[in-house]
């Protein structure tokens, strides 16, 4: 569907910035080296062939036993060309950090905050990296696979009920 995007990427980035590319069910994807993340995004937005001007989605995936542990997944769409692409970047647990693409697509501001809130991936250069869904008192990142499924961090509870701390 949008092989042209991958062709442009392969032609432009020849120094190992692209770790892997592929196509599945008509959706093209590319795995990008972590330090080239913003450069690749910037190129895809500005290139006259790809023109990926619309941010669709950005989130993370926790693959627990794999190294690097997290994938940040980004979807972008071109309103003019009517094609889309999916980008991955691997983020290891001990240096859970990725460059922010808010400078490329400002619409990813809250998406990156959500990925930070739920998975603990920090985005370098984000203008306001706070939790977006959970409250500031919350400890940990609930969508990580090692977060206990039934762990609760209540802000208020009635006293004198079964299971209450008081």
Partner 1 sequence: MGLEIYNSTVQAAVNWARKFSLFQYPFVTACCGMEFMSTAAPKYDLARFGAEFPRFSPRQADLLIIVGTITERQAPALRRVYDQMCEPKWVVAFGVCASTGGFYQNYSTVPGADQIIPVDVYIPGCPPRPEQVLDGLILLQERIQRGEGHSQIVLKAEAGHDVPVAAIRPRNRALPASANFPSTGGPDRTEK
Interacting residue ranges for partner 1, rule: CB under 8 A = 133-135, 142, 147, 149-158, 161-164
Q: For residues 67 and 137, which CB has a smaller minimum distance to partner 1 in the complex?
A: 137
Give 26 or 160: the residue with its C-beta nearer to partner 1.
160
**Both tokens of residue 120?**
């603990």
Give the SS3 label for residue 113: helix
57 Cβ contact list (under 8 Å, min separation 6): 73, 74, 75, 111
In the bound complex, what is the minimum distance in angstroms from residue 64's beta carbon to partner 1? Answer: 17
Please list, in sequence order, all residues whose beta carbon lies within 8 angstroms of the beta carbon of residue 4, skipping any fewer than 6 positions away.
Answer: 49, 50, 83
DSSP 132: S
Three-state secondary structure call for residue 8: helix
Q: How far is the CB of 130 from partner 1 (least distance, A)?
A: 14
Q: Which residue number, 62 or 99, has a Cβ lying nearer to partner 1?
A: 62
**CA 92, CA 123: separation in Å to the nearest integer?**
13
Query: Rounded to the nearest whole angstrom, what is the least distance from the CB of residue 85 to partner 1 in the complex?
Result: 32
Helix (H, G, I), strand (E, B) or coil at 41: helix
Judged by beta carbon, residue 73 or residue 134, the one nearer partner 1 is: 134
From 62, 58, 64, select the one nearest 132 (Cα to Cα). 58
Q: How far is the CB of 126 from partner 1 (least distance, A)?
A: 22
Least distance in angstroms from the C-beta of 99 to partner 1: 28
Nearer residue to partner 1 within complex by CB, 1 or 133: 133
């Amino acid at each position: 569907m949008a092989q042209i995007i991958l062709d442009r990427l392969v032609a432009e980035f020849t120094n190992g910035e692209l770790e892997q590319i592929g196509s599945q069910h008509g959706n093209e994807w590319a795995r990008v080296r972590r330090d080239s993340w913003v450069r690749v995004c910037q190129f895809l937005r500005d290139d006259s062939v790809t023109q990926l001007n619309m941010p669709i989605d950005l989130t993370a995936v926790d693959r627990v036993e794999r190294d690097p542990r997290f994938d940040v997944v980004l979807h972008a769409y071109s309103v003019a060309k009517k094609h889309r692409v999916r980008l991955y970047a691997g983020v290891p647990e001990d240096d859970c950090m990725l460059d922010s693409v808010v400078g490329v697509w400002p619409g990813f501001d809250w998406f990156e905050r959500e990925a930070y809130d739920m998975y603990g991936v920090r985005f370098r250069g984000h203008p306001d990296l706070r939790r977006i869904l959970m409250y500031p008192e919350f400890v940990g990142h609930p969508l990580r696979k090692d977060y206990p499924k039934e762990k609760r961090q209540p802000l208020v509870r009635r006293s004198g009920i079964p299971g209450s701390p008081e």
